Amino acid sequence: MSLTMLETNSPVDIRATVVQTYRISGDVSIITLECPAIAALAKPGNFINIKVTNATQPLLRRPFSIHNVRGTLIDIMVKSIGAGSTLLCETSVGATVMVLGPLGNSFDQTDDKFHTAVLVSGGIGTAPMLFLEKKLATEGRKVINLIGGRTKDDLLSQNLTNCRFATDDGSSGFKGTVVDLLRSELPDLKNEGSLKVFACGPNPMLKALAHFCHEHQLACEISLESVMGCGIGICYGCSVEIKAQDGGTRTILLCQEGPVIDAKLYIA
């Protein structure tokens, strides 16, 4: 897989109505937005850029992965970590927000060289996995979720199937990181036929996973994170250094050539 094989979309900017909002844990909410034009174009791995309030501050839009598409509706899973995400989690049903999307590339839709998809996610990185799992299931793939968190309260498995868990403190499931869980499950997973790993989570987790998959010759795509000022290639705030084809390094704008990249390009 090369970066150019990962598809991009022509985004639209619309005023979307919040049609549902509910809290699934202490600091994480699912927000449902009516945005038919974006829902029609969305692919797993895409994100949307939301102006979280009609007031001036915060001025910049905030990026959120598309968690699920239901007809004309888009669900996002939002963790409250600062001003913008907190305002979004507290938005009332009936309010409107400006939404630009779908943005970024998607998990590879053309790769048919695997039987079982292993979705590896950590913390709020589980957000894009429901949409991806649904798409893979419609293609007849077996899907297994490996989900990590610091404690059991950080595990987000809402509506996902075949879940196995890891927590840093051992409060639920395997004690260790989700990459350690993959290491321990790999002999068993290899009985499921050819594997491909799809991942999203904190960048250090993705770096460790990229090394693990390289070592074990597992195909893997990762969805990286960065702070994003504009989401459309103007501010250069989302520069990330990745490996170049010639073995050196090159800088990409994650909002343009990401957020999904081949894990081979994320090995130091």
Ligand X SMILES: Cc1cc2nc3c(=O)[nH]c(=O)nc-3n(C[C@H](O)[C@H](O)[C@H](O)COP(=O)(O)OP(=O)(O)OC[C@H]3O[C@@H](n4cnc5c(N)ncnc54)[C@H](O)[C@@H]3O)c2cc1C
229 binds, among ligand FES, ligand X, none (CB under 5 to 8 A by kind): ligand FES
Q: Which residues pair with 253 in a beta bridge?
A: 239
Q: Which long-range contacts (CB under 8 A, 24 or more apart) does 147-150 make?
A: 147/121, 147/122, 147/178, 148/120, 148/121, 148/122, 148/123, 148/177, 148/178, 148/179, 148/181, 148/201, 148/205, 149/122, 149/123, 150/123
Question: Out of ligand X, ligand FES, none, which partner does residue 237 contact, by CB within 5 to 8 A per kind?
Answer: ligand FES
Q: Which residues bind ligand FES (CB under 6 A)?
A: 228-231, 233-238, 253, 255
* Angstrom distance (rounded) from CA 67 to CA 50: 14
Rounded CA-CA distance 140/94 in Å is 37
Within residues 56-115, the interface with ligand X by CB under 6 A covers 58, 62-65, 76-79, 81-86
178: enclosing H helix or E strand: helix 178-189
As measured in angstroms, the least distance from the Cβ of 48 to ligand FES is 13
Among residues 225, 257, 260, 266, the one that binds ligand X under rule CB under 6 A: 225
Residue 30 partner contact from ligand X, ligand FES, none using kind-dependent CB cut-offs of 5 to 8 Å: none
Do residues 110 and 5 touch, judged by C-beta distance below 8 A? yes
∠ CA 259-11-61, nearest 5°, is 70
Distance CA 43, CA 24 (A): 24
In whole angstroms, the minimum distance from the beta carbon of 51 to ligand X comes to 11
Size of the site for ligand X (CB under 6 A): 23
Give which of ligand FES, ligand X, none residue 84 binds (C-beta under 5 to 8 Å, depending on kind).
Answer: ligand X
Of the pair 86, 109, the CB lying nearest ligand X is at: 86
Identify residues 108-137 at the interface with ligand X (CB under 6 A). Answer: 124, 127
Which conformational region is residue 54 in: left (phi greater than 0), alpha (psi within -120 to 50 degrees), or beta? alpha
For ligand X, the binding residue among 35, 99, 156, 228 (CB under 6 A) is: 228
In the stretch 134-173, what mask flags binding to ligand X with x, by CB under 6 A? Answer: ----------------------------------------
Nearer of residues 84 and 149 to ligand X, judged by Cβ: 84
Q: Toward ligand X, which CB reaches closer, 32 or 116?
A: 32
DSSP conformation letters of 180-219? HHHHHHHHHHGGGSSEEEEEES-HHHHHHHHHHHHHTT-E
Q: Burial-class residue 28 by CB neighbours within 10 Å (0-12, 13-18, 19+).
A: buried
For the bound state, the minimum distance from the C-beta of residue 78 to ligand X, rounded and expressed in Å, comes to: 4
- Say which entry of ligand FES, ligand X, none residue 203 contacts (CB below 5 to 8 A, set by partner kind): none
User: Whole-number minimum distance, CB 232 to ligand X, in Å?
Assistant: 13
Per CB under 6 A, residues contacting ligand X are 47, 58, 62-65, 76-79, 81-86, 124, 127, 225-228, 259
